[in-house]
């Protein structure tokens, strides 16, 4: 069976072939790609010209490219790695994420592989249950599943046309051409002239840095994550389990009949040195939660080394009037490249998916108008719509994480014995998962004859 890399990686020369002749009608599309008049007076002819270039083949990048594809717009995705970056564990998607996946057309394929999570329980370090909730009791439309990152990326990539993803394509330089397009130079010397660039290259985004964004800020705690494996079947109920200690918390949730995702989050004054040795991470994690509920320690023991990762948690607050705009010219940011947030609300991936479909719809409408100037308006409209959504969520996720990482034993006691059992209500905490998203359907007039 062909791998994602073999299906998507084609020689760069295939991008430089002469385009087909334009149709006789005034449609702004030749076949699928959008076309905006371009001159090359200030750029060498030895470049690859593309209409839409997506930088980064993570969740945001592939979701954006696939959303554009569903609406009839071609794109090419530049990924610096040699293949899909399928390492890591899983991510929890709430109903807003699933509505986007349904709109893109991959929701049911993914549902069939992952368990629906029925609710959540909060425990103390001695195993005492402090509170439990059922998601459907709070919101009958709620849908929660933990999804393996690898399978999500592979599902997206398999839906894209062959040749869409260009691996081993690390960005080294960005500059504007004299005609308003953007020239991307790769480490191997390849140069790509793009009419629209969509930066989806994650929290250390080179595109965001070029646009003037500051590096994301470390929030004071790190997370170690893993994916426990049970070949004969995992024994846990389909619910999220949280364990809250002092300056330390953990959680686990079944992903599939044979896999369970877990995390341990601990305070640290600095991110510390990068640790990639899984045996060291496993021992460090077990030491952190020694004496905690035995099921957590058992999960760590049955976790394959290649699924354990340690991540310093970071975010970026998009203060109005201070943070740069989400777009500059025809360069725009999506997902973590624009608004990295901590995982405390489970909304990082969900918001990236939302970004993808909102941006794709606005770009498609702008291209359909036939007015090249409409592209700039579409990118500005995207930011106006998305900023009131992502900025408050970023702040809220940060505050929730800070509260849950309390170290003072008296405060932790009040949290565990008063706030969680008697005050917290799940319904209001999940209001941010409301998001309307209609299916993406190509507009007939987009397709040339």
101 band by pLDDT with thresholds 50, 70 and 90 = very high
Q: By C-alpha distance, which of 103, 115, 120, 100 is closest to 148?
A: 115
30 band by pLDDT with thresholds 50, 70 and 90 = very low
Cα 13-195-50 angle, rounded to 5 deg: 15
Query: In whole angstroms, how large is the CA radius of gyration of the chain?
Result: 23
pTM for the whole thing?
0.89
Give the three-class secondary structure for 306.
Answer: helix
| Model confidence pLDDT, tens digit, residues 335-387 | 999 999 999 999 999 999 999 999 999 999 999 998 878 999 999 999 999 99
Summary mean pLDDT of the chain: 89
CA–CA gap between residue 146 and residue 92 (Å, rounded): 4
Count CB-CB contacts under 10 A for residue 93. Answer: 27
Cα 229-231-235 angle, rounded to 5 deg: 75
Joined tokens for residue 246: 């002092």
Does the pLDDT of residue 28 top 90, yes or no?
Answer: no
Residue 219 parent element (H or E): strand 217-229
Q: Residue 96: which residues within 8 A CB-CB, separation 6 or more?
A: 347, 350, 353, 354, 432, 433, 434, 435, 437
CA–CA gap between residue 167 and residue 252 (Å, rounded): 33
Q: What is the 3-state secondary structure (H, E, C) of 244-277?
A: ECCCEEEEEEEEECCEEEEEEEEECCCCCCCCCC
Question: What pLDDT sits at residue 443?
Answer: 59
| Model confidence pLDDT, tens digit, residues 35-64 | 333 333 334 557 899 999 999 999 999 999
| Model confidence pLDDT, tens digit, residues 170-189 | 999 999 987 889 999 999 99
Does the pLDDT of residue 216 top 80, yes or no?
Answer: yes
Q: Residue 334: which residues within 8 A CB-CB, separation 6 or more?
A: 60, 61, 64, 198, 199, 200, 352, 355, 356, 359
């Amino acid at each position: 069976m062909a791998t994602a890399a073999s299906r998507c990686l084609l020689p760069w020369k295939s991008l430089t072939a002469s385009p087909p002749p334009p149709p006789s009608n005034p449609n702004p599309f030749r076949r699928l790609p959008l076309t905006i008049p371009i001159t090359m007076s200030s750029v060498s002819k030895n470049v690859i010209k593309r209409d839409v270039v997506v930088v980064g083949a993570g969740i945001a990048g592939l979701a954006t490219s696939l959303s554009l594809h569903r609406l009839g717009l071609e794109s090419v995705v530049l990924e610096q790695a040699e293949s899909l970056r399928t390492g890591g564990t899983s991510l929890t998607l709430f109903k807003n994420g699933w509505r986007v996946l349904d709109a893109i057309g991959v929701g049911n394929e993914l549902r069939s592989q992952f368990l629906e999570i029925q609710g959540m329980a909060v425990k103390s370090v001695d195993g005492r249950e402090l509170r439990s909730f059922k998601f459907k009791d709070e919101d009958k439309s709620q849908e929660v599943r933990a999804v393996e990152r690898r399978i999500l990326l592979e599902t997206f990539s398999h839906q894209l046309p062959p040749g869409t993803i260009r691996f081993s394509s690390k960005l080294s330089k960005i500059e504007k051409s004299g005609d308003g397009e953007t020239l991307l130079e790769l480490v191997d010397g390849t140069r790509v002239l793009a009419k629209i660039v969509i930066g989806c290259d994650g929290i250390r985004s080179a595109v965001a840095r070029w646009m003037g964004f500051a590096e994301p800020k470390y929030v004071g705690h790190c997370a170690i994550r893993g994916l426990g494996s049970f070949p004969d079947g995992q024994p846990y109920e389909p619910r999220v389990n949280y364990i809250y200690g002092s300056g330390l918390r953990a959680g686990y949730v079944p992903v599939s009949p044979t896999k369970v995702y877990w995390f341990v989050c601990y305070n640290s004054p600095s991110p510390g040195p990068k640790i990639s040795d899984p045996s060291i991470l496993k021992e460090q994690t077990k030491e952190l939660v020694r004496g905690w509920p035995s099921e957590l320690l058992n999960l760590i023991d049955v976790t394959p080394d290649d699924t354990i990762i340690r991540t310093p948690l970071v975010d970026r607050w998009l203060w109005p009037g201070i943070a740069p705009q989400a777009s500059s010219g025809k360069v725009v940011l999506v997902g973590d490249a624009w608004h990295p947030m901590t995982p405390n609300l489970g909304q990082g991936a969900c918001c990236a998916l939302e970004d993808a479909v909102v941006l794709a719809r606005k770009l498609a409408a702008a291209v359909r108008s036939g007015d090249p100037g409409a592209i700039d308006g579409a990118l500005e409209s995207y930011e106006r719509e998305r900023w009131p959504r992502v900025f408050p969520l970023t702040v809220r996720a940060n505050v929730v994480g800070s509260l849950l990482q309390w170290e003072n034993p008296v405060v932790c006691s009040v949290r565990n014995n008063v706030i969680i059992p008697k005050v917290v209500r799940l319904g209001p905490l999940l209001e941010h998962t409301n998001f309307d998203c209609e299916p993406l359907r190509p507009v007939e007039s987009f397709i040339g004859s």
